[in-house]
Amino acid sequence: MKKTILLCAACAISMLTSAQLLEVVSTQQLRTPSGEELKVAGFSPKGDYLLLTNDVNNGLIHYDLATGVTNTISEASGAGWSVKISEDGQSIVYREGYMDANQLMKHNIVKYDMSDKKKAIVAKNQRNLNQLVHANGANSVTINEDLHMILVHNGKNIVLAPNGTNEAYNWASISPDGQKILYYVSGRGCYVCDLKGGNVQYIADHCRAPQWYDNKTIIGMHDEDDGTYLTASAIVAYNLQGQKQILVNREMMAIYPYAANGQIAFSTAGGNVYLMKVK
């Protein structure tokens, strides 16, 4: 009798935590330039183009989803790391790395204008790799050198450490309605908090590289490794109530999802790029 009760309880928990949050309409592999092994570095808010980079974040390529035409924005080191796209999709802010005369790696922060294809250096000679980079006039959030979150609000930098100052934070972003912050704490999992760092809500242990799909839904990768190599990785959707749905099975080795306008773009460990349409 006790085993039966425990089994029923386990089934009830499973039903509560698993749900169909999104309906997958289609999934297609995108053809990359010259068959290169690339990964997604960004997705325009309107869902009309992707930004692609290589496995070590060198170079930045614009990929037009309507035509499949690509354009190389930069070939610089680090250009594909922590790219920011403006809300209207017309401005892209990224890094261009170089070695100075003392063989120190430094970065220029560059703004690329989609309308005239011109670049402008926003900041020069940045040594700190966590230097704030943002393309929007609204609130933005990034990670500082202490791996704490920095909220930029009304032109002021506010340090947030909602899970404690001894934790390391990563992958921070603000919800589409501007009310919540999504972030990952190393070794602990994915969380959501308000703009003051309060009302902390746990989402999942293994939701890494989390992104907002909408104000109530989050996507992330559940990756596994053997201590050296990636062995499996799934793309999973979560809601704020803790329910989840596996969108891409772990055997596909899917990594780093991005969402925009009813679409989810992701890469695989083998360097393939996919676009999934959902509703």
As a dihedral over the C-alpha atoms of residue 38, residue 40, residue 41, residue 46, rounded to 10 degrees, the angle is 140
Of residues 107 and 145, the one with the higher pLDDT is 107
Q: How confident is the model at residue 126 (pLDDT cuts 50, 70, 90)?
A: confident
Average pLDDT of span 73-93: 92
State the pLDDT at residue 122: 85
pLDDT tens string 186-230: 999 999 999 999 999 999 999 999 999 999 999 999 999 999 999
Q: Bigger pLDDT: 100 or 15?
A: 100
Average pLDDT of the chain to the nearest whole number: 88
Determine contact, residues 64/70, Cβ cutoff 8 Å. Answer: yes
> Percentage of the chain surpassing pLDDT 90?
71
Q: Residue 190, Cβ neighbours under 10 Å: how many? A: 23
CA distance 123 to 91: 16
Q: Are 206 and 234 in contact (CB under 8 A)?
A: no
**Per-residue pLDDT tens for 236-275?**
999 998 899 999 999 999 999 999 999 999 999 999 999 9
Note the pLDDT tens digit of each residue in 132-169: 445 445 688 888 878 889 998 877 889 999 999 999 99
Backbone φ and ψ for 252, nearest 5 degrees, come out as: -80, -15
Give the CA angle between residues 89, 90, 94 to the nearest 5°.
Answer: 85
The rounded percent of the chain whose pLDDT value lies above 70 is: 90
| C-alpha–C-alpha distance, residues 62 and 38, integer Å | 12
- Amino acid identity at 124: K
Contact by Cβ (8 Å): 40, 256: yes
Q: Is 215 helix (H, G, I), strand (E, B) or coil?
A: coil
Identify the pLDDT of residue 115.
93
Number of H helices, E strands in the chain: 1, 23
What's the confidence (pLDDT) of residue 127?
59
pLDDT at 18: 72
pLDDT of residue 91: 93
- Write the CB contacts of 146 (distance below 8 Å, at least 6 apart in sequence): none
**Residue 47 predicted with pLDDT over 80:** yes
Q: For the ranges 13-22, 97-106, 119-128, which has the lowest average pLDDT?
A: 13-22
Other residues' Cβ atoms within 10 Å of the Cβ of residue 162: 21
Q: What is the pLDDT of residue 138?
A: 65
